[in-house]
């Protein structure tokens, strides 16, 4: 009988069914449906009393982080696009089921004014802000640089780079000593795939941003860390982030032979924000399934 703790056979392996969703996609319509830790994550009070804002918290890695944060004792505001409302409602129900406050604020992070309003509304709803998780991302596959339009490039950078900058800037007007910013990067920052080049560029920028901001904010007692996922099974992939061929065999090239499930990375977001790890700032917490880690 296989050991239940063996990660290799724990989750579905490719090939996966052919599927495609319009951007930004819904986890509830994916096959197989991702595991965000809905039934498996067990908390131990590591974030008790903390107040967190998580972008892209409706599905994928952001959803897993939101569930974990609530079960670790945090109140959570999630941001998502209006089209993702069905997934967002499920997350809020999971947060409130833990006896924590859960708030959903829809909106487009490509708008600087909205980013500032999001931080203000999140802090107002929670009575302050201790943790900001910059997780929302845009990824669209393009066969060559000639196929990346100026509009595409702009949308990807505004979502993945400008928004974390705007949100962090606004949050730092509110945050006090002991606060934490957690950014989502990617293995793509150091090992880019040729068909998501613009996305990979943004992930390298996020790593640089994390390290520079961590140094700048250390004297204020505010930490900044990043989590760098490898291939994870999320709506990012089925809504244009991967070609049908790549999606069919998604994660097969990892040493585990499968993609990661969001539940398998949630603990790293908790660790990145955990106040007991107070000497960890400017750190990159990677979960690449054995693939190369970003620098």
- Total count of residues recorded for the chain: 295
CB atoms within 10 A of CB 242: 22
Per-residue pLDDT of the chain (295 residues), as tens digits, is 345 689 999 999 999 999 999 999 999 999 999 999 999 999 999 999 999 999 999 999 999 999 999 999 999 999 999 999 999 999 999 999 999 999 999 999 999 999 999 999 999 999 999 999 999 999 999 999 999 999 999 999 999 999 999 999 999 999 999 999 999 999 999 999 999 999 999 999 999 999 999 999 999 999 999 999 999 999 999 999 999 999 999 999 999 999 999 999 999 999 999 999 999 999 999 999 999 888 7
Task: Determine whether 44 is exposed, middle or buried from the number of CB atoms within 10 Å of its CB (0-12, 13-18, 19+).
Answer: exposed
**Strand-by-strand arrangement of the 51-55 sheet:** 102-106, 75-80, 51-55, 131-134, 180-184, 223-229, 284-287
Question: How many helices (H) and strands (E) in the chain?
Answer: 9, 7
Residues 6+ apart with CB under 8 A from 156: 138, 139, 140, 198, 199, 202
Q: What residue ranges define each of the domains in the chain, with the CATH number in brackets?
A: 42-287 (3.40.50.720)
Closest listed residue to residue 163, CA positions, set 211, 119, 195: 119
Residues taking part in catalysis: 199
CA distance readout (Å), 251 to 133, 142, 275, 290: 25, 19, 33, 11
Q: Which tokens go with 125?
A: 């709803």
């Amino acid at each position: 009988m296989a050991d239940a703790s063996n990660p290799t056979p724990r989750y579905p392996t490719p090939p996966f069914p052919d599927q495609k969703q319009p951007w930004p996609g819904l986890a509830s319509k994916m096959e197989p449906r991702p595991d965000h830790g809905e039934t498996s994550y067990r908390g131990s009070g590591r974030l008790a009393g903390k107040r967190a804002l998580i972008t892209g918290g409706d599905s994928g890695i952001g959803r897993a982080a939101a569930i974990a944060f609530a079960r670790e004792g945090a109140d959570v505001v999630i941001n998502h696009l209006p089209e993702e409302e069905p997934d967002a409602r499920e997350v809020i129900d999971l947060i409130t089921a833990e006896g924590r406050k859960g708030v959903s604020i829809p909106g487009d992070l490509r708008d600087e004014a909205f980013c500032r309003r999001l931080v203000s509304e999140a802090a107002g709803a929670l009575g302050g802000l201790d943790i900001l998780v910059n997780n929302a991302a845009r990824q669209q596959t393009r066969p060559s640089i000639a196929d990346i339009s100026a509009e595409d490039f702009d949308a990807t950078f505004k979502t993945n780079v400008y928004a974390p900058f705007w949100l962090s800037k606004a949050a730092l007007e509110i945050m006090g000593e002991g606060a934490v910013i957690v950014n989502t990067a990617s293995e793509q920052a150091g090992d880019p795939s040729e068909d998501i080049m613009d996305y990979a560029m943004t992930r390298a920028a996020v790593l640089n941003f994390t390290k520079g901001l961590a140094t700048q904010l250390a004297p204020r007692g505010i930490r900044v860390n990043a989590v760098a996922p490898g291939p994870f099974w999320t709506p990012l992939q089925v809504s244009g982030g991967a070609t049908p061929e790549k999606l069919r065999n998604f994660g097969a090239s990892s040493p585990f032979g499968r993609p990661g499930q969001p539940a398998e990375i949630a603990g790293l977001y908790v660790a990145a924000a955990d106040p007991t790890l107070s000497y960890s700032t400017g750190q990159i917490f990677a979960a690449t399934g054995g693939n190369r880690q970003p620098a």
